[in-house]
């Protein structure tokens, strides 16, 4: 029974990834059909991200009231309805309207499932589960590109994936009794939790030493991932002169790197700590962007997409798995919601703004800008690790004195 439950969570992560990559990979085709400028993808992306920020912040209270299982089912259902709406949208305005439930559906389930896995499963499962997010994100553009090359439209792609989401909703409905078995805390409160005078809440999570570096880490990694997802296809079209139909498929190399990297990271996490994996991933990401900005043949650009994806692969899940460690069990869900909010704020603000910059100046700027994000991410994690070690040293000294 436990294995069936874990499989359902894996499927939920695939469903999270499927819509995330669709907009960016299909936008060079969609914007022509809808008759809007290429930079307008940022507007839709911003609305989706605002919805995820709101639902991420509310996830703390929602899960306390109705539980993770029900929040997951409702959220996936909202996503399915939104994707169906995308496929039927007669104009860009309708697309923006359905972007609202798409964002609201994604944020709560993301925060809830990540907290659930961080508390109940080992680091390897967090990496593998996010690897299955990569499976969904990789299948999205492949499916879209295949359907278009076969003579279908982008609407068929959205309709197909909405049907997949509706099927998952039905499966999750049968899993509700399983969630009740796991809803209780997986571990006893730590000594630090018991001594803490802070009540669990969103603002309390920001009082932890070094919290701002951790939150800003989520902001930067999500900004980088979102920019690659949203503008990777357009970069190949504008900078590498690849046709829009082919670019929608080639951008899946980025998701291939993420997926393979996270599957491999699950095994590596048995030997290396989360922070070591984050450091290794950040360095590999920086290397990938450095290769991308060099004046090399298109083949090297495509290879750099894989390298960047593989570098980003362990960062997000490893940071999530550290949440109960850095913030304590009593603040884990609130901190997770706040981290998701910072992550989606990066997606909301940075990726669309970058798109406007690239569209009005040049897409050749993309690897330079994202390289700077990678360096900033590595710096933030090093500062957070240093702050946590100081905090641990203070608590250890206090325990010895008492």
Closest C-alpha among 347, 366, 374, 370 to residue 280: 374
Taking the CB of residue 6, how many other CB atoms lie within 10 A of it? Answer: 17
Half-sphere exposure of 122 (CA within 13 A, CB side): 10
Mean pLDDT value across residues 253-267: 85
- Radius of gyration for the alpha carbons in the chain, expressed in angstroms and rounded: 20
- Which residue's entry shows tokens 């999750």? 172
Q: What is the pLDDT of residue 126?
A: 79
Burial of residue 284 (number of CB atoms within 10 Å: 0-12, 13-18, 19+): buried
| CA dist., res. 19 & res. 37, Å (int) | 21
Residue 217: how many CA atoms within 13 Å on its side-chain side? 27
Q: How far apart are CA 79 and CA 90, in angstroms?
A: 19
Closest to 81 in 3D by CA, of 112, 105, 113: 105
d(CA 218, CA 123): 18
Residue 185 tokens, joined? 């805390």
Q: Name every residue whose Cβ is closer than 8 Å to that of residue 229 and which is 6 or more positions away in sequence.
A: 20, 21, 24, 25, 137, 251, 254, 351
The SS3 assignment for 126 reads: helix
359 touches 239 (CB < 8 A): no
Q: Which pLDDT tens digit goes with each residue over 110-125? A: 767 777 777 777 777 7
194 pLDDT higher than 50: no
The residue that leads in pLDDT, 240 or 159, is 159
Region class of 3: left (phi > 0), else alpha (psi between -120 and 50), else beta: alpha
Secondary structure (DSSP) of 316-333: HHHHHHTHHHHH-GGGHH
Find tokens 């004046």 and name the residue.
295
Domain annotation for the chain: domains and CATH numbers: 9-181+200-394 (1.20.1250.20)
pLDDT confidence of 242, banded at 50, 70, 90? confident
| 151 and 35 Cβ atoms separated by less than 8 Å | no
Cα distance between the two ends of the chain? 46
Query: Tens digit of pLDDT for each residue in 336-360?
Result: 777 877 887 887 788 878 888 888 8
Tokens of 38: 């290429």
Q: Between 303 and 401, name the one with better pLDDT.
A: 303
Give yes or no for residue 106 having a pLDDT over 50: yes
CA-wise closest residue to 377 among 312, 288, 305, 324: 312
Determine the pLDDT at residue 84: 94
What would the pLDDT profile of 298-335 be if each residue is shown by its tens digit? 889 899 999 999 999 899 888 888 877 777 666 666 77
Average pLDDT over residues 180-205: 52
What does the block give as tokens for 210? 């070094």
Rounded Cα gap, residues 336 and 70, in angstroms: 18
Given the structure tokens 């209780």, which residue do they identify? 184
């Amino acid at each position: 029974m436990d294995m069936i439950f874990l499989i359902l969570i894996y499927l939920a992560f695939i469903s999270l990834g499927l819509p995330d990559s669709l907009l960016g990979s299909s936008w060079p085709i969609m914007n022509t059909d809808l008759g809007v400028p290429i930079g307008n993808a940022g507007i839709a992306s911003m609305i989706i991200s605002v919805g995820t920020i709101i639902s991420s912040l509310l996830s703390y209270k929602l899960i306390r009231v109705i539980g993770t299982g029900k929040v997951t089912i409702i959220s996936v259902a909202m996503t399915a309805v939104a994707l169906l709406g995308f496929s039927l949208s007669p104009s860009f305005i309708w697309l923006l309207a359905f972007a609202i439930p798409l964002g609201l559906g994604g944020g709560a389930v993301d925060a809830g499932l990540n907290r659930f896995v961080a508390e109940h499963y080992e680091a390897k499962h967090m990496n593998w589960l996010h690897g299955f997010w990569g499976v969904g994100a990789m299948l999205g553009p492949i499916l879209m590109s295949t359907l278009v090359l076969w003579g279908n439209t982008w609407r068929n792609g959205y309709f197909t994936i909405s049907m997949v989401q509706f099927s998952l909703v039905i499966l999750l409905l049968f899993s509700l009794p399983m969630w009740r078995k796991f809803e209780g805390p997986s571990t006893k409160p730590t000594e630090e939790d018991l001594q803490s005078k802070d009540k669990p809440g969103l603002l309390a999570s920001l009082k932890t030493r070094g919290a701002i570096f951790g939150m800003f880490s989520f902001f930067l990694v999500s900004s980088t991932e979102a920019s690659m997802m949203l503008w990777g296809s357009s970069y190949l079209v504008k900078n590498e002169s690849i046709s829009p139909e082919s670019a929608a498929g080639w951008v899946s190399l980025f998701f291939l790197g993420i997926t393979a990297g996270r599957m491999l990271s699950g095994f590596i996490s048995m030997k290396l700590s989360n922070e070591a994996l984050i450091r290794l991933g950040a360095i590999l990401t920086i290397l990938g962007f450095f290769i991308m900005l060099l004046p090399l043949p298109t083949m090297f650009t495509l290879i750099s997409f894989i390298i960047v994806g593989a570098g980003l692969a362990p960062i997000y899940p490893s940071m999530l798995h550290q949440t109960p460690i850095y913030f304590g069990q009593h603040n884990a869900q609130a901190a997770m919601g706040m981290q998701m909010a910072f992550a989606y704020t990066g997606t909301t603000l940075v990726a669309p703004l970058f798109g406007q910059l690239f569209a009005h100046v040049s897409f050749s700027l993309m690897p330079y800008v994202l390289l700077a994000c990678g360096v900033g991410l590595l710096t933030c994690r090093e500062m957070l690790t240093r702050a946590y070690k100081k905090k641990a040293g203070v608590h250890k000294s206090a325990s010895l004195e008492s």
